Every structure is written in structure tokens, then in C-alpha cells.
């Protein structure tokens, strides 16, 4: 539940970061748009003045045009309006096409890339009287309009420049900001995903620790109870006149103590294997005696009928004998634990160019495809609920992890092939001795 709350808070945090970043980008977009708007106003004024200068150059030498009268500072009629009216009286009309061309040149010089058009407007109604380009389809969305600059002293007419789709320039000016934002968002999202993975991993570790503690206590409780009960009987003296019974109880105590010792040794060995602190004392050994010993051991101790089929074409294997024997014992023990009422185990071996290949087959309950991906993980016990139906096999997921670690230490490989409810087959690939290779 705690992990779920952390995930929810993390998601809300991510949404908040994205929202703040979006607001920041929107504000930056508005600022860059306003900057282009201001530059466009200046460019339109310069273009009108330049166009008026071109017309004035066509007048006879010595021509005089009256400028704006000296009035108070609140005068709203610009100088260009007086200049334009003077030129109109001389028969030189304003050329929107020339203003358009001049404005384009000024825009390029200012690094503003956009299609433009120049409007001649009625300033009262804002009705378009004329335009520099008639073939443009202009919408109200996605444009920047400059201020209307009066070109008549009575303020009846004015000129306005329209920038159509100036997004490229805005995005170009925001380039570094956008790149930084993308990098930042990738970094933040990556950190959050990594954090969620760590939280999930911690939750899994906590669950594994809990399962391990429970399984360890469960697996140790039975032998400890047996030892306590047997020693109590032995100390009581009630078995002094029954030597056979007394010996039986001593045997039970020894076997249970050996079981506990083997369990602790397996945990310590796994820890050393995982940290690469345990070296394998590899040598060429005869495979058949090991299999015969294990066969005899499991047939004797099992309360189920077991039938072994042995087919050893590879008689020798290059391994650490002690670890290899324990490895094979774990695989056979698993086959018996998770089996049906009658157990069929087939063990075969053969060579290829590089490996000694050993196969251990059983007709047990099988392993699902999903569980096959995790059965070699530490503390993993596949199909726990199904095992319960077949008698509740004990253990806490060390057996197959031990097998995997030992095979890894031998620089070999292990694969599992299984059909749920039908069979399981483990295949071991153990490298042959280097001199042979």
C-alpha cells in the first residue's frame, strides 16, 4: 500500500513538472511573439518611410512638403501621414507592393521568416480597402498583426502589416530552450521511471525477505521439533532397556541435524557463489557411480514408487565432484517433490564438440511458461499453490538457484523444457576439459 502511495505521488509530481514546464514554454512563446510583434511594427514604419522617400525622389528638384505642425507631445498623427498627404497632392500615391517588398527585406535582415501582406484600412471600421497580395488565404488564427499606422492626417486611413504563420521564426528563436526542455524532461522521466523500478524492486525484496523468513522457520521447525522430542525421550531413560528403539531415535536426531547443517551450508555456499568467492576444484570424474549413489539414496528414503531410467553415453564429466553431486541431488529431489503418485525419472548424457550434455527428465506436474522464466531466481518457488494440492512440498527456493549458480561457476549453461501437468526436463551443458578442446 505504501509503495502504491509513492507511485501516485510520483505520478502527480511528474504531472506538476510537465505542467510547470508547459507554462514556462507558453510564457517563452508569448515573449518571443511579442518581440516579433515589436520588431514588425518598427519594420513597417521603416518600410513606409523608405517607400515615401522613394516617391519623394521622383518629385521635381526643390519641391517642399510641409511636415507635422508643432503641437503638444500627445500628438497622435505620425510624420509619415503628413509626408504621404503631401505626396498624394503631387499625384504620387502610396504603393503597397513597394512597402511589401521593403518590409520583406527588413524582415530577412532581422531574421524573421514569414509570409506577409500589407493592408490599407479604413481606421474607423478596419475595413480592408486594398492589399499588397490578393491571392493569400488569411485566417484569424496563427497570424501577427502590427499596429495600424495612419497615412492620412485626419486618421481616416492606415496601413497594417500581417505576418502569416510566423511559427518557424518563433520556434527557431526558442530552439535552445526547446532542446533544453526536451533533455530535462527525458532526464526527469528517466529518473522517475528508475525510481519506480527501485521502489518495485525494494517491495519485491521486502516480500522475498518475508517469504524467506517464513519458509526458513517452517523448514527448520520440523527437524528441530524432531530433535527436541527424540532427545527428551533419550534423556528420560525410558528407552534404556530398548536398544533398537534407542538407536532409531539417535539416527533420527543425526539425520535431522544433518538436514539443518546441509541447509545452512547451502545458504552460505550460495552467498559465496554469488560473490564469486568460491572456486571450483574441477577434475574429470566418473559420472555413473554418482548417479547410482543418488538413485539408491532416493529410492530408499522416498515414500513414493520411483523408477529410474539411466542412459549414460558420456561416462565422465569435468566438474567439482562435491558441488556436482549436490547439484544432481537437488534436481532429482525436485523431480520427486513435485511429482505425481508414481515417479518416472530419466537421466541421460552424451558429448558434443564442446560440452558434456546431461538431461534429467521427470513426469511430474510440470512448470508453466510464466514460471519457467523465474525458477532459477533466488527464493523463487514456482506454482506454490499447485504444489500444495500434491502434498505441500517444503523449501524456500534455493535448490534451483543453487543449481544455476554451480553451473555458472563451471562456465556452463542450463535450460528447462516443460509442459504444465505433463513433464519437466532440465538440460545441463558442462564444458569439456580444456585439453580436449
Question: How do strand 157-164 and strand 115-122 relate by DSSP bridges?
Answer: antiparallel
Q: What is the DSSP string of 388-426?
A: HHTT-----S-HHHHHHHHHHHTT-EEEEEEETTTEEEE
Which of 146 and 393 is assigned the larger pLDDT?
A: 146
pLDDT for 384 equals 44
Which of 304 and 52 is assigned the larger pLDDT?
A: 52
Are 146 and 158 spatial neighbours (Cβ–Cβ below 8 Å)? no
pLDDT for 46 equals 92
pLDDT for 436 equals 46
Which of 198 and 417 is assigned the larger pLDDT?
A: 417
CA distance to 5, 6, 16, 186, per residue, from 195 (Å): 13, 10, 17, 14
Is 68 a residue whose pLDDT tops 80?
no
> What is the residue extent of each domain of the chain?
2-173, 176-274, 283-431
Across 398-415, average pLDDT: 86
Is 397 a residue whose pLDDT tops 50?
yes
The 10s digit of each residue's pLDDT in 282-321 is 889 998 999 998 888 888 777 788 899 999 999 999 998 8
The 10s digit of each residue's pLDDT in 118-147 is 999 998 888 988 988 876 666 666 788 899
Across 1-11, average pLDDT: 68
CATH of domain 176-274: 1.10.287.130
Model confidence at 22, pLDDT cuts 50, 70, 90, reads confident
Q: How many CB atoms lie within 10 A of CB 347?
A: 22
Model confidence at 428, pLDDT cuts 50, 70, 90, reads very high
3-state secondary structure of 334: helix
CATH of domain 283-431: 3.30.565.10
Which of 401 and 52 is assigned the larger pLDDT?
A: 52
- What is the distance between the alpha carbons of residues 51 and 58, in angstroms, rounded to a whole number? 11
Q: How much is the pTM?
A: 0.48
Amino acid at each position: 500500500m505504501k509503495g502504491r502511495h509513492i507511485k501516485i505521488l510520483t505520478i502527480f509530481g511528474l504531472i506538476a513538472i510537465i505542467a510547470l514546464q508547459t507554462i514556462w514554454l507558453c510564457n517563452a512563446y508569448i515573449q518571443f511573439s511579442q518581440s516579433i510583434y515589436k520588431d514588425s511594427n518598427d519594420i513597417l514604419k521603416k518600410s513606409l518611410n523608405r517607400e515615401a522617400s522613394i516617391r519623394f525622389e521622383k518629385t521635381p528638384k526643390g519641391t517642399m512638403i510641409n511636415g507635422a505642425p508643432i503641437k503638444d507631445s500627445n500628438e497622435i498623427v505620425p510624420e509619415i501621414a503628413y509626408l504621404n498627404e503631401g505626396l498624394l497632392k503631387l499625384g504620387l500615391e502610396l504603393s503597397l507592393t513597394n512597402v511589401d517588398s521593403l518590409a520583406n527585406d527588413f524582415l530577412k535582415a532581422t531574421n524573421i521568416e514569414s509570409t506577409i501582406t500589407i493592408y490599407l484600412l479604413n481606421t474607423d471600421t478596419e475595413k480592408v480597402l486594398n492589399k499588397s497580395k490578393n491571392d493569400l488565404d488569411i485566417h484569424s488564427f496563427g497570424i501577427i498583426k502590427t499596429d495600424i499606422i495612419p497615412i492620412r492626417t485626419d486618421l481616416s486611413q492606415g496601413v497594417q502589416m500581417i505576418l502569416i504563420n510566423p511559427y518557424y521564426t518563433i520556434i527557431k528563436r526558442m530552439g535552445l530552450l526547446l532542446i533544453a526542455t526536451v533533455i530535462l524532461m527525458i532526464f526527469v522521466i528517466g529518473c522517475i521511471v528508475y525510481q519506480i523500478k527501485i521502489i518495485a524492486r525494494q517491495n519485491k525484496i521486502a516480500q522475498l525477505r518475508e517469504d524467506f523468513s517464513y519458509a526458513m522457520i517452517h523448514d527448520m521447525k520440523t527437524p528441530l521439533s524432531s530433535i527436541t522430542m527424540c532427545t527428551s525421550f533419550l534423556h528420560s531413560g525410558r528407552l534404556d532397556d530398548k536398544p533398537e528403539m534407542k538407536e532409531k531415535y539417535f539416527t533420527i536426531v543425526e539425520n535431522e541435524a544433518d538436514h539443518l547443517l546441509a541447509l545452512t551450508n547451502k545458504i552460505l555456499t550460495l552467498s559465496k557463489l554469488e560473490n564469486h568467492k568460491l572456486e571450483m576444484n574441477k577434475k574429470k570424474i566418473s559420472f555413473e557411480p554418482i548417479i547410482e549413489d543418488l538413485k539408491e539414496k532416493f529410492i530408499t528414503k522416498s515414500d513414493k514408487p520411483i523408477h529410474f531410467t539411466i542412459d549414460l553415453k558420456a561416462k565422465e564429466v569435468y566438474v567439482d565432484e562435491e558441488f556436482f553431486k549436490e547439484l544432481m541431488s537437488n534436481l532429482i529431489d525436485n523431480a520427486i517433490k513435485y511429482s505425481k503418485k508414481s515417479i518416472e525419472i530419466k537421466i541421460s548424457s552424451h558429448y558434443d564438440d564442446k560440452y558434456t550434455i546431461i538431461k534429467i527428465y521427470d513426469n511430474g506436474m510440470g512448470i508453466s511458461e510464466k514460471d519457467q522464466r523465474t525458477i532459477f531466481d533466488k527464493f523463487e518457488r514456482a506454482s506454490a499453490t499447485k504444489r500444495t494440492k500434491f502434498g505441500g512440498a517444503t523449501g524456500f527456493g534455493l535448490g534451483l538457484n543453487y543449481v544455476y549458480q554451480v553451473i555458472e561457476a563451471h562456465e556452463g549453461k542450463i535450460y528447462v523444457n516443460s509442459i504444465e501437468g505433463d513433464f519437466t526436463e532440465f538440460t545441463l551443458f558442462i564444458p569439456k576439459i580444456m585439453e580436449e578442446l
